[in-house]
């Protein structure tokens, strides 16, 4: 009797290494029950199958990181694997254990409550990527939740991950967005009226998903030997250039985390991004934007704005406080790493250096946004400070303002200088004569400063357009895409993905995606503030 032909597993390009689960201690309990997990860095757990997975979209750039082709991504096997319905033989799925400070308070064990890591691959370029499904079912860290995610949050994470990459902002990546075919019950407004929503799974990628909280939980529990084991693993895997782990290398490692985090904050400020949930468990040790929840871009320039309804009163995580909060979070990481170093002085120095890195980066960033060759503190600081006082006085679209500022002619009348900016304000009735006089004065000072640089206007505009995006993922655009997918129409997701691939370019046929927030979106759910509900 002849044997049936042997079939190879799909996606032979996925070479799994799984170093995290090979080299770090696992939770010895293998049942998927909610519990406190001690003396372990992770728990093995399998994704929960879904009833009718359907691919909504994939990122060809993220697929390329895994050496996957477009044909691979459009295959039925892809949908089955990246919805969690099928595991490849080499996968070793797990949920990580970590803790964190949430809104400034120690929350104890948190962990991957609705994220399941499929394993780590090493691609043809030798790069290491962890594959993670978000919304793939419960884990030991789910507490009272179901481990699932809804379409609205999943679509927002998928699009934003890739949008941030194309903006040049360090970020985790998103490979795919897949509908599960199963409803998920959520109380979107936390008002006691839960409703069923479509479920979805996002596959996201990162060199590692290790975060500040992975170290915090071990330090808080006094598991110092395991803390050192995780730190040594992290350095050898992600920071080998620092040398073999030792107290001196731990210090250099923390200093590098401080530097990359400062650079990330500068990028967020540059593009007007507000994370919304800067808890320590949402801070990557690689300085990546991680865990896209109730994020948003500034529509009108308001430094006190937060996209998170949970943060509406305290505004801890508002746009203008993000750099300060990152510093606070780094201090909590320093506390966690202290047992490995035994000396506060180098940790305190690294935290001071963070502030220096941020200030220097911020000055360079603002010079770029304004088209200056270099930031000259004596003259440019007052110019920038006055601008940042003017912008929030009336509703001014941040993205459009800086993009249009590049069009301001230098050798022109006051009215001509104002002309490119007339459409960036939301409420015409706020444009008083006194306010216009202040703007005219600022624009005259700005033109004089640019004239000192003596750049050709075309060069200055090109430099400004290279750092001031025209297209960002405004909340109302994401909501329109969610609405369309709810109707079974996926084309707007694809169109947005394509537009956001070129955020700094003029795309004459896509002007509708570069417009101010429409009035109907001012207070609509999903278009202004958002909750933490998945």
pLDDT tens digits along 96-116: 999 999 999 999 999 999 999
What is the pLDDT confidence band of residue 382, given thresholds at 50, 70 and 90? very high
The average pLDDT across 178-196 equals 88
Of 293, 99, 286, the closest CA to residue 205 belongs to 286
* C-alpha–C-alpha distance, residues 380 and 487, integer Å: 51
Q: Are 327 and 212 in contact (CB under 8 A)?
A: no
Q: Are 285 and 339 in contact (CB under 8 A)?
A: no
Confirm whether 281 is a catalytic residue: yes
pLDDT at 188 over 80: no
* C-alpha–C-alpha distance, residues 244 and 259, integer Å: 20
Question: For the purposes of burial, counting CB atoms within 10 Å of the CB of 232, is it exposed (0-12), middle (13-18) or buried (19 or more)?
Answer: middle
Q: How far is CA 32 from CA 29, 36, 90, 453, in A?
A: 8, 12, 21, 64
- pLDDT at position 193 is 80
Q: Are 101 and 69 in contact (CB under 8 A)?
A: no
- pLDDT at position 1 is 45
Paired tokens of 352: 């001071």
Longest Cα separation, the chain: 93
Q: Are 426 and 516 in contact (CB under 8 A)?
A: yes
pLDDT at 441 over 60: yes
Q: What is the mean pLDDT of the chain?
A: 95
pLDDT at 531 over 80: no
Flag the least confident range among 16-30, 137-151, 187-201, 343-357. 187-201
Cα-flanking dihedrals φ and ψ of residue 362, to 5°? -65, -40
Q: What is the pLDDT of residues 249-303, one digit of tens each?
A: 999 999 999 999 999 999 999 999 999 999 999 999 999 999 999 999 999 999 9
Q: How far is CA 291 from CA 114, 142, 161, 428, 478, in A?
A: 11, 16, 9, 37, 17
- Structural element, H or E, at residue 109: strand 105-109
Q: Which of 281, 291, 300, 397 is catalytic?
A: 281
Work out the angle between the directed axes of helices 322-341 and 224-238 (0-180°, nearest 10): 110
């Amino acid at each position: 009797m002849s044997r049936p032909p042997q079939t190879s597993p799909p996606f032979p390009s996925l070479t799994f290494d799984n170093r995290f689960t090979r080299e770090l201690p696992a939770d010895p309990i293998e049942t998927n029950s909610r519990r406190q997990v001690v003396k372990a860095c992770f728990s093995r757990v399998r994704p929960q199958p879904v009833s009718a997975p359907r691919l909504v979209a994939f990122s060809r750039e993220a697929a390329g990181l895994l050496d996957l082709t477009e044909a691979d991504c459009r295959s039925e096997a892809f949908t089955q694997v990246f919805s969690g319905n099928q595991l490849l033989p080499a996968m070793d799925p797990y949920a990580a254990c970590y803790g964190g400070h949430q809104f400034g308070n120690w929350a104890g064990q948190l962990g991957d409550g609705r994220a399941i890591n499929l394993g780590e691959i090493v691609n043809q370029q030798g790069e290491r990527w962890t594959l993670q499904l978000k919304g793939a079912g419960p884990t030991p860290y789910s507490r009272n939740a179901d481990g699932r995610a809804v379409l609205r949050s999943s679509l927002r994470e998928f699009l934003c991950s890739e949008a941030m990459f194309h903006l040049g902002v360090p970020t985790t990546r998103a490979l795919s967005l897949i509908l599960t075919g199963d409803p998920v019950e959520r109380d979107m407004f936390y008002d006691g009226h839960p409703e069923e929503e479509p479920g979805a799974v996002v596959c996201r990628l990162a060199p590692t998903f290790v975060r500040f909280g992975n170290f915090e939980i071990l330090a808080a529990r006094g598991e110092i030997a395991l803390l050192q084991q995780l730190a040594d693993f992290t350095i050898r895997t992600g920071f080998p250039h620092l040398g073999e782990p030792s107290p001196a290398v731990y210090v250099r490692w923390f200093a590098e985390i401080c530097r990359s985090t400062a650079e990330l904050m500068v990028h967020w400020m540059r593009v007007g991004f507000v994370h919304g949930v800067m808890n320590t468990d949402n801070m990557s040790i690689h300085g990546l934007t991680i865990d896209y929840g109730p994020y948003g871009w500034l529509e009108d320039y308001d430094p006190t704005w937060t996209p998170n309804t949970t943060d509406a009163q305290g505004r801890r995580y508002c746009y203008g406080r993000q750099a300060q909060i990152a510093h606070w979070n780094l201090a909590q990481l320093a506390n966690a790493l202290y047992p490995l170093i035994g000396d506060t002085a180098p940790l305190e120095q690294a935290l001071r250096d963070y502030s220096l890195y941020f200030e220097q980066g911020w000055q360079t960033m603002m010079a770029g946004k304004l088209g200056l060759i270099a930031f000259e503190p004596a003259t440019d600081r007052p110019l920038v400070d006055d601008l940042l006082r003017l912008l929030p006085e009336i509703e001014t679209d941040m993205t459009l303002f800086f993009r249009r500022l590049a069009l301001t002619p230098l050798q022109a009348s006051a009215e001509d200088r104002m002309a490119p900016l007339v459409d960036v304000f939301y409420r015409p009735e706020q444009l008083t004569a006194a306010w216009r006089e202040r703007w005219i004065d600022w624009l005259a000072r700005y033109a004089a400063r640019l004239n000192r640089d003596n750049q050709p206007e075309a060069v200055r505009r090109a430099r400004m357009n290279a750092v001031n995006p025209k297209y960002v993922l405004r909340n109302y655009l994401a909501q329109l895409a969610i609405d369309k997918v709810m109707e079974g129409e996926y084309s707007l997701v694809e169109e947005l993905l394509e537009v956001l691939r070129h955020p700094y370019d003029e795309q004459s046929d896509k002007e509708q995606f570069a417009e101010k927030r429409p009035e109907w979106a001012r207070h609509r759910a999903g278009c202004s503030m958002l909750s933490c509900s998945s």
